[in-house]
Amino acid sequence: MRLSVLALLALVLLAGTAEAYPQFTLALGTDRCSACHFSPAGGGLINDYGRDEAGDTLSGRGDGRFAHGAWTPPSWLALGADVRLAAGAKQLDGQERELLAFPMQADTYTRIVVSRVSLNLTIGLNGAARPRADGANPLSYVASRQHYLMYELPSGNLTVRAGRFFPVFGVRTQDHTAYPRRYMDQGTLEEPYAFEIGGSAGAWEGYLAGFIGNPIPFTGAGAKANGATAYVERRFEKVIVAGQGRVALTGDDRRVALGAVGKYWLEGPKLLAMAELDVQRQSFPGGGDPRLQLLGFAQLTRMIMPGYMIGAAVQRWSPDLTLGGSSRNALQLDVQAFPWAHVEAHLLTRLEATGGDTFDPNLLVLLQLHYYL
């Protein structure tokens, strides 16, 4: 075994972010991400209700308020922070096992409200898999993944956002390596600049957004696509179903995706089933045959409240349905403990088969320690 510095730095670049935990929707009695988060997409800074749930329902111990209740910010200001450390091992087919230990996340959040308009800022570490260029300044080590203005009605039935953020799309899992994020341009530091309008009426909720790729190279990663997303959701008593679409254009390709998201809460056994399915057509303006692609994600989570959550997920990504042996398949087990408000321990184990090779899968085991202020 050996400690791989290159792997460590690469994983820092792909550091996890505290996005929403979609498993909590329905399971904790809420039916919208915005019930616990200021952002309509979930993730980042949590509101007073979300903090109360973190202490009372999720952990059952501790004070979930900002700074454990030591100081209460004024009504026009909300603050927060996320720190996440990780350690583990990975085993790639035909290679030596590598030990991993790295800081996964260090983000601060600020929300300033004036009347119905809020300024929302996320500032944190900007990891890099390669050495910094000569003459790197402090800004090379800090990045703002999200910064946007949001207008909202007091009822929450209408929101308008403009700035840098991920539009509402997909299952919105906190796991940045999950296939719906990894292959739909929702990885770390891949936030585009967008304009989004969202609204809700009764059991319906919908969002429409246009976006452009981040024009500042050193603050972003991944494809610099321009395009649009649409997401429409219908809630029933214990079921959520949604349809979605996405268009992404770059100088190299054109991608058009249609998909669906679903959640189903089984009250008796305390199980939440969640799934996403997307079919995408990728074409190339420079020539070449278009590709039909498939993304599949399904997860079953057992809630043991207060304090624990156990989940199993299967994932599939096929970059070309006509090309045999090109797919990626993964089986993942997550065990999460919330022993006290503000604290989480997350053990992730994943077997991933590439190119259709299911007999010699890659292995990743990762223990994350997460603290939020």
Q: DSSP letters along 25-60, please?
A: HHHTSB--GGGTBSSTT--SSB-HHHHHHIIIIIIS
User: Predicted confidence band at 4 (pLDDT cuts at 50, 70, 90)?
Assistant: very low
CB under 8 Å to 228, separation ≥6 — which residues? 208, 209, 210, 211, 246, 247
Is residue 334 a part of any domain in this protein? yes
Domain of residue 313: give its range. 2-129+142-372
In a domain, 134, yes or no: no
| Cα 270–Cα 373–Cα 22 angle in degrees, nearest 5 | 30
3-state secondary structure of 67: helix
In a domain, 135, yes or no: no
In this prediction the pTM is 0.89
- Is residue 333 in some structural domain? yes
Phi-psi group of 91: left, alpha or beta (phi > 0 → left; psi -120 to 50 → alpha; rest → beta): beta
Give the tens place of pLDDT for each residue, 129-165: 445 556 666 666 788 989 999 999 987 789 999 999 9
Say if residue 80 is exposed, middle or buried (CB neighbours under 10 Å; 0-12, 13-18, 19+): buried
Residue 120 has pLDDT above 90, yes or no: yes
HEC-encoded secondary structure of 220-287: CCCCCCEEEEEEEEEECCCEEEEEEEEEEECCCCEEEEEEEEEEEEECCCCEEEEEEEEEEEEECCCC
Contacts of residue 216, Cβ cutoff 8 Å, sequence gap at least 6? none
Of 305 and 169, more confident: 169
Nearest to 46 by CA among 347, 346, 344, 339: 344
Query: Per the domain annotation, does 295 fall within a domain?
Result: yes
Give the total number of structural domains in the chain.
1
Residue 176 pLDDT level (bands cut at 50, 70, 90) = confident
pLDDT score of 10 = 37
- Assess if residue 23 is contained within a domain: yes
Range in 35-44, 175-184, 185-194, 244-253 the model is least confident about: 35-44
Q: Is residue 212 part of a domain?
A: yes
Residue 219 corresponds to which tokens in the numbers above? 């603050």
Q: How many whole angstroms separate alpha carbon 356 and alpha carbon 330?
A: 11
The whole-angstrom separation of Cα 53 and Cα 57 is 5
pLDDT band for position 199 (50/70/90)?
very high
- In CATH, what number is assigned to the domain containing residue 21? 2.40.160.10
| pLDDT higher than 80, residue 29 | no
The secondary structure of 95-146, three-state, reads CCCEEEEEEEEEEEEEEEEECCEEEEEEEEECCCCCCCCCCCCHHHHEEEEE
For 279, counting Cβ atoms within 10 Å of its Cβ (0-12 exposed, 13-18 middle, 19+ buried), the class is middle
Name the strand (E) or helix (H) holding 187: none
10 Å CB burial of residue 245 (0-12, 13-18, 19+) is: middle
Residue 2 has pLDDT above 50, yes or no: no
Domain membership flag for residue 136: no
